[in-house]
Amino acid sequence: MEFSKFTSRFSSHAGIVQLMEDLGAALSGDQNVLMLGGGNPSHIPQVQQIFHERLERILADPAEFAHVIGDYDSPQGEQKFIVSLARLLRSELEWNIGPENIVLTAGSQAGFFYLFNMFAGEFSDGVNKQIMLPLIPEYIGYTDVGLVDNLFVSCRPEIEIIDDHIFKYRVNFRELKVGGNIGALCVSRPTNPTGNVLTDDEIRHLLEIASNRNIPLIIDNAYGLPFPDIIFTGANPVWTENTILCLSLSKLGLPGTRTGIIIASEEIVKVITNMNAVLNLALGSFGPALVLDMVKSGEITRISQTIIKPYYQNKVEHAVRLVHKEFNGINYYIHKPEGAIFLWLWFPGLPISSEELYQRLKKRGVLVISGHHFFPGFEEDWEHKHECIRVTYSMETRVVEEGIKIIAEEVRKVS
């Protein structure tokens, strides 16, 4: 059967497609796989109990239950949720936004598909524009969303060695060239895969660059403020008329509801609402319904600050201690874990590629992700990107402990 050129972009097994297939096969198989490669949030009992109680209240109210499962919402998203979220952000963060600045999407991935193809690709005047990623490594999910080739361009970061086994990436503003072919800047904060949190100064500098060139700064805030607040270092939430802020309910503990949130200018919100109408007709009601009361009351930020953040901070501290213990004698660095739910491990001088290490670990029942996948738009032959892996620490403690131990064993074998 012959497919269109558009369809062929989804026919390969490269990048995120192959990785998701590996994860899916592991979950559906009988083998006891240590899942350190996915981005699934932890099943935090206190948070799940809150959702459970909210679901019971929905089930107990025939009218609300009928609305949640039986009525189409607006293509902008559930209106009560949007109005309540705008009120919360005005109250807590003093942002000058209203419901006209918020639109929901069928998950963050769908939102980035919209945004990247809005601001990059071929324009009506024949000009081809790209998305600039000022700091790499960057989220693997961006890689394949473009409807054209070469959608991204990125810049090699500065590497700051903090101590014997900790380092941090910083935006290399000296080398950051934002020309007329750039349609938008995009960063994740905290960054998936590294756990990096761009400083307030870095964000201000990027906003200045974007404003001077009349392009938006897109901030992927899936792990950030005000919810789920998986940030372990000082950082302030940011939104301006020139900012497109992307949030999600996934890392709050609701990945199954596929609810993305975009906060942007009214013009951009209208365009994305129209895209939703064409591609989805309407959006799912389940995610907004589960968190509506939490948003109305402001409890969503309290839960993030007092339950979710401390939970992950304890887990990452335990995981870092474990790496230091198991990796004794190995040449390694951990990216300073400032947020998100991952450890980014760097093995300078690793004799094999990180992809080969990934394959060796998979044979031993440990799934991680090879670092080379996280460099979209970066064409330089840089050995560093083949010396790193991403490890998820949100899984059960036993899984994390056994997985890290096996990683250490495999690295020793090849060193």
Rounded CA gap, 44 and 52, in Å? 12
Co-location of 229 and 286 in the same domain: yes
Please tell me the predicted confidence (pLDDT) of residue 126. 85
Domain boundary among 274, 297, 320: 297
CB 391 within 8 A of CB 156: no
SS3 content of the chain, % helix, strand, coil (to 5): 45, 15, 40
CA distance 408 to 405: 5
Give yes or no: residues 171 and 188 share one domain.
yes
Query: Looking at the structure, do residues 281 and 175 belong to the same domain, yes or no?
Result: yes
Phi, psi for residue 346 in degrees, rounded to 5: -115, 125
Per the domain annotation, does 161 fall within a domain? Answer: yes
Per-residue H/E/C for 194-216: CCCCCCHHHHHHHHHHHHHCCCC
CATH number (domain holding residue 33): 3.90.1150.10
Q: Which residues pair with 248 in a beta bridge?
A: 260
CA nearest 185: which of 109, 128, 131?
Answer: 131
Q: How far is CA 238 from CA 154, 195, 213, 294, in A?
A: 22, 18, 19, 22
The pLDDT score that the predictor gives to residue 257 is: 94
- Report yes or no on 346 lying in a domain: yes
Paired sense of beta strands 369-370 and 182-188, if any: unpaired
Instruction: Provide the 10 A C-beta neighbour count for residue 80.
Output: 15
Answer yes or no: is 139 within a domain: yes
Q: What are phi and psi for residue 318, nearest 5 degrees? A: -65, -45
Distance CA 87, CA 96 (A): 10
Q: Are residues 214 and 342 in the same domain?
A: no
Q: What is the pLDDT of residue 19?
A: 64
158-163 and 102-105 beta bridge pairing: unpaired
Let me know whether 136 and 227 are in one domain: yes
Q: How many domains does the chain divide into?
A: 2
Domain assignment of residue 54, yes or no: no
Phi and psi for 105 in degrees, rounded to 5?
-135, 165
Residue 66 in any domain: the answer is: no
3-class DSSP state of 370: strand
- Assigned token pair, 215: 């392009």
- Please say which residue of 297, 316, 343 terminates a domain: 297
Query: Of 246, 274, 297, which one is at a domain's C-terminal end?
Result: 297
Q: What is the pLDDT of residue 16?
A: 60
Q: What is the pLDDT of residue 31?
A: 63
Distance between CA atoms of 183 and 29, rounded to whole angstroms? 43
The domain in which residue 224 lies consists of: 71-297
Indicate whether 310 and 280 sit together in one domain: no
| Residue 30 shares a structural domain with residue 77 | no
What are the Cα distances from residue 25, in Å, to 21, 153, 362, 398? 6, 32, 12, 21
CB 246 within 8 A of CB 108: yes
The values of phi and psi at residue 134, to 5°, are -70, -20
Give me the average pLDDT of each 10-residue run along the chain (415 residues): 56 58 60 88 96 96 93 94 98 96 96 96 90 97 90 96 97 95 97 97 97 97 96 94 96 96 97 95 93 96 97 98 97 98 98 97 96 94 96 96 98 94
